[in-house]
Amino acid sequence: MAAHEQLAGHLGHLSPEQETKLSEFKTVCTKEGLWVPGKTRTSLDEAALLRFLRARKFEVPDALKQLQETETWRATNRMDELYDTLDVVAYEDARKVYHQWTGRRDLLGRPVYVYEISHLKNNMSAFESSSKILKSPSSTASDGAPTQPIPGKLRVLCGLYENMSEFVLPLCSAVPSRPSPHTPITSTAHIVDVSGVGLMGFWNLKNHMQAASALATAHYPETLSQIYLLGTPSFFPTVWGWIKRWFDPGTTSKIHILSQAEMGPTLRAMMRPEDLPKKYGGELEWEYGMYPSLDTELGKVVPGLKMGDGKGKDGEWVKGPLRWVAEEGDKPKVVAKGFVGGKQRDEVVAVVEPV
């Protein structure tokens, strides 16, 4: 698919009718108190509003309903507080069983994630143990309204989605050397490797995968651009039948099943060889389980980000929740959040430099 086709419906690539719909949506969101420029949370900007519109085919009433439900869900579950107070160890255990950002981007500038399903079995027990000890945000909101904290497993999964929206996407948007530098990056590309997973393995992962997909579809709409599915076994037609029942049509339409012969050429057409892991036909020395390896342009935006892990160690990726903080009149910063050793962390780990 050509770049202009993939960017259709995004800022800077709207049809006159879509421009009208966006203006109408902004007006009604402001009237409903959902969106106030300069006051609403940073990640709910014009580009985010467009995600809700695209998810609902630019039908304003439907997009409004989904946004209202999402903002109610965020308030009920204290999402900002949840992310900022996640235990760093629990967060890292969750990262081991879900999609992982390579630190690289595709040719449109979208972050590329890798998900190797076979690692789930080995790492799931540690994830489940750590998620059980997580403390929920306080049960009463600042306005006195009761909250309904979500279970530990979903809290850390939410934390990973928050990391994407609150750190990875704004970081990638800050890089000007991409085909449409004035269009914010609002979605991700995923390489999903299912090699080594048996038939019962897929079935046993049903609830795990459904929860992740349902969460993204409901509250982080249109953040998934493409899924490249690799290593499919001979019995995969059976699994594909399950998947089409487990996930919504919007998600399954973005899945591209690649054979071994198709893998390298297809993925190299999507991203530079130096940004594609060697295992999948590229040149990047990166394996599932490693921390992000920032490409040169990203490194220029946040020089020094790899230095320190919140405990004074040098040369390591900063573990745990990260937040992109942009304040008027000041350079954006990357702030490390979460609990380390039972203490709240609120540490500036990088100052964003113009590129």
pLDDT in tens, 20-66: 999 999 999 999 999 987 777 878 999 999 999 999 999 999 999 99
pTM of the predicted model as reported, rounded to 2 decimal places: 0.90
Give the pLDDT band of residue 149 (cuts 50, 70, 90).
low
pLDDT of residue 202: 81
What gap in Å lies between CA 188 and CA 113, rounded to an integer? 7
Domain architecture of the chain: domains with CATH = 1-76 (1.10.8.20), 78-300 (3.40.525.10)
What burial class does residue 210 get, using C-beta atoms within 10 Å of its C-beta: 0-12 exposed, 13-18 middle, 19+ buried? Answer: middle
**pLDDT above 70 coverage of the chain, percent:** 87
Pick 202 or 12 by higher pLDDT.
12
pLDDT of residue 246: 82
Provide the 10 A C-beta neighbour count for residue 53. Answer: 26
Give the pLDDT band of residue 129 (cuts 50, 70, 90).
low
For the cut 50, the answer to whether the pLDDT of residue 309 exceeds it is no
Give the pLDDT band of residue 307 (cuts 50, 70, 90).
very low
pLDDT of residue 1: 65
Pick 49 or 89 by higher pLDDT.
49
Which of helix, strand or coil describes residue 349? Answer: strand
